[in-house]
Structure formats: structure tokens, C-alpha cells
């Protein structure tokens, strides 16, 4: 039975399901897409024991993480938190028919998914208060969480303008999204960050992962943006759902294995140390980098 179940978790099925979920809803975060994939797997699984279900779920998680090309992603952290949420109490409370128990797991998963889906909505009111009339803001590429913050401020009739780095094609998509909401946007080359930094009031970026030190892993170019902000005494803010908090502690750029391009060096992510970050806007509250380790303990213990 176990072998059959492992065979049923083929890459082509569950990774493709995950990609289809993201394609169907461009506003969906990769973390939520991963959770929806695990929910679908639980619903279709014919596992007959908790151990079997956990093993096959882990197999799907591994496939999803591998599909992102790096371990420093919200996919891995979201899946780990999801697994803990739905199964940690399983052995304590499992005293009934396993099919019925799987239904309970699925219901618990729905609760977790619901919290994950409203995380951005919980962040936006906390972060938009930092945007004042007349502000000039710099952001990097496209972040759905940053977009939610900016759109929330625009809905409150705040008047501000935004510089967006190109990071083709993500910056253009961010510009179109903000422009449609009536926000003045200027698209700039990634290499122009140092040139433009003196014109902005603060920098706000998303994060692919928030690590134990309070630093962030994000699209390549974030680190140099944070350095420019530091030199010019500009606040540097990061926006991230708690699903993106990961139990990892990179010390240097080389600790993030995310290079592509064969003979050409084309890193896709970089690490921004906590010393360059002013505040993190999260669904758990507005946090300093030093507070992240305590929040990780609460999440995973």
C-alpha cells in the first residue's frame, strides 16, 4: 500500500496541480498554492494509517520544494507549518475510524488555509499607516504583499508616488497593478537604485523567506537596495506573512543555493542581513528583526 501511495505522488501530478493553482489565480501566494495542493492530496489519499499519510504528504512537500529550486522559500515553511498544524495532535486524539479522522485533518487544514489566505489583509492596515501624503516610495520587482499595502493606502486617499525596479518582467506587472489603482509609478532599471535612492522617503520590499536572524531572502537586488538605503539613512521595510518564517540561519550570500545559468552566474535570490532592515510588517504585528526568533519559537513549538 505504501509503495502504491508513493507512486501516486508523481511529480507530474502534484507539482502540476500546484502550478495550475497559481496560474488560475495570479494573486495567490506560492505558500497558499502549496497548502491547497496538500489539501487536495489529503482529500484524494487512500492512506489507511497516520504514518502512511504523513509519509506520502512529506513526499509531496519534497516535490513542491524541489520545484522552487531553493530551500529558502515560503513553500517549504508553509508546508512544514501546515503539517504540524494538522497532525501534531493526531496521535493524542486518534481513537476512531481513520477515514473519519482524515476528514478531521482536512477540516483542520481548512482552518489553517483560511488563516493563510487573510494574512495579507491583516498586514495591510498595520503597514499602510507608515505611508504619509506626499511620500515617495521605492520598491523592488513585484510583491503581492507590498502591493496590498500600497493599494490599502491608496484606498484611504493617500497621495504618494512609487519607483519600481524593472526586474523583468515582474516590475512591469507591479507598475501596471499600481497604475490601474491610480498610483503614480515610475519604472527604473535595477542598476539605477543608487541613483534614485536620495529621492525616496523609504524602501519597502517583499520577502520570499524571513530567517531566524530577522534577515530576509528575496529577489536578487534586494540586498544592494538595502545597502543603498542604509548609506542614505532611508528606512528599509520588509513585508511578509508569518508563513514565510523559516528555521534557517544564513550567514552569507553563499548559504543560499539559488544560482542558474550554467557558465553565466545568474543568482535569483539574495540575503539581506537584519542590520539593514528597519522593521518587518507581518500578520503577527510590526516587528523588529530581533523579534523574529521569538516568533519562530512560538510558531514551531
- The mean of the pLDDT values for the chain is 88
Residue 1 has pLDDT above 50, yes or no: no
Examine residue 169 and say whether the peptide bond preceding it is cis (omega within 30 degrees of 0).
Answer: yes
Residues 6+ apart with CB under 8 A from 124: 148, 149, 151, 152
C-alpha cell at 299: 510558531
* CA-based max dimension of the chain: 65
Task: Judge whether 217 and 267 are in contact, CB under 8 Å.
Answer: no
Greater confidence, 179 or 258?
179
Among 290, 206, 205, CA closest to 241 = 206
C-alpha cell at 120: 495579507
Q: Residues for the chain: how many in total? A: 301
Tell how far CA 192 is from the center of its chain.
Answer: 26
Task: Judge whether 148 and 120 are in contact, CB under 8 Å.
Answer: yes
Give the pLDDT score at 8: 44
Give the pLDDT score at 41: 93
Give the pLDDT score at 265: 79
Lowest-confidence segment of 150-164, 190-204, 222-236, 287-301 by average pLDDT: 287-301
Give the pLDDT score at 2: 36
Give the pLDDT score at 279: 98
Interval 219-271: pLDDT, tens: 999 999 999 999 999 999 999 999 999 989 998 998 886 655 567 778 889 99
Give the pLDDT score at 273: 97
Greater confidence, 237 or 105?
237
Among 242, 272, 269, 246, CA closest to 256 = 269
**How many CB atoms within 10 Å of residue 69?**
13
Question: What is the four-CA torsion angle of 83, 87, 89, 94, rounded to 10 degrees?
Answer: 180
Interval 124-171: pLDDT, tens: 999 999 999 999 999 999 999 999 999 999 999 999 999 999 999 999
Q: Which runs of consecutive H residues, i.e. helices, occur in 163-287?
A: 170-180, 193-196, 222-231
Task: Judge whether 289 and 213 are in contact, CB under 8 Å.
Answer: yes
Q: Which range has the top average pLDDT, 54-58, 65-69, 120-124, 247-251?
A: 120-124
Give the pLDDT score at 5: 38
Amino acid at each position: 500500500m505504501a509503495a502504491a501511495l508513493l507512486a501516486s505522488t508523481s511529480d507530474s501530478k502534484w507539482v502540476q496541480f500546484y502550478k495550475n493553482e497559481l496560474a488560475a489565480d495570479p494573486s495567490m501566494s506560492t505558500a497558499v498554492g502549496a497548502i491547497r495542493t496538500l489539501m487536495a492530496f489529503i482529500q484524494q489519499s487512500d492512506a489507511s494509517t497516520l504514518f502512511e499519510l504523513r509519509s506520502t504528504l512529506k513526499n509531496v512537500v519534497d516535490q513542491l520544494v524541489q520545484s522552487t529550486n531553493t530551500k529558502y522559500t515560503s513553500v517549504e515553511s508553509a508546508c512544514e507549518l501546515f503539517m504540524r498544524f494538522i497532525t501534531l495532535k493526531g496521535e493524542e486524539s486518534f481513537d476512531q475510524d481513520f477515514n473519519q479522522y482524515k476528514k478531521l485533518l482536512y477540516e483542520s487544514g481548512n482552518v489553517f488555509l483560511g488563516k493563510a489566505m487573510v494574512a495579507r489583509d491583516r498586514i495591510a492596515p498595520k503597514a499602510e499607516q507608515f505611508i504619509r501624503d506626499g511620500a515617495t516610495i521605492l520598491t523592488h520587482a513585484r510583491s503581492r504583499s507590498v502591493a496590498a499595502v500600497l493599494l490599502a493606502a491608496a484606498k484611504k486617499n493617500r497621495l504618494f508616488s512609487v519607483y519600481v525596479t524593472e526586474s523583468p518582467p515582474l516590475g512591469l506587472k507591479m507598475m501596471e497593478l499600481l497604475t490601474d489603482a491610480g498610483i503614480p509609478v515610475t519604472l527604473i532599471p535595477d542598476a539605477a537604485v543608487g541613483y534614485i535612492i536620495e529621492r525616496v522617503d523609504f524602501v519597502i520590499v517583499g520577502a520570499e523567506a524571513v530567517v531566524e536572524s530577522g534577515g530576509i531572502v528575496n529577489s536578487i537586488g534586494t540586498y544592494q537596495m538595502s545597502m543603498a538605503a542604509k548609506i542614505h539613512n532611508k528606512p528599509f521595510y520588509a513585508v511578509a506573512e508569518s508563513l514565510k518564517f523559516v528555521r534557517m540561519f544564513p550567514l552569507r550570500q553563499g548559504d543560499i543555493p539559488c544560482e542558474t545559468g550554467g557558465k553565466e552566474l545568474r543568482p535569483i535570490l539574495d540575503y539581506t542581513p537584519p542590520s539593514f532592515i528597519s522593521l518587518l510588517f507581518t500578520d503577527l504585528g510590526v516587528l523588529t528583526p530581533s523579534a523574529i526568533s521569538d516568533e519562530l519559537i512560538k510558531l514551531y513549538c
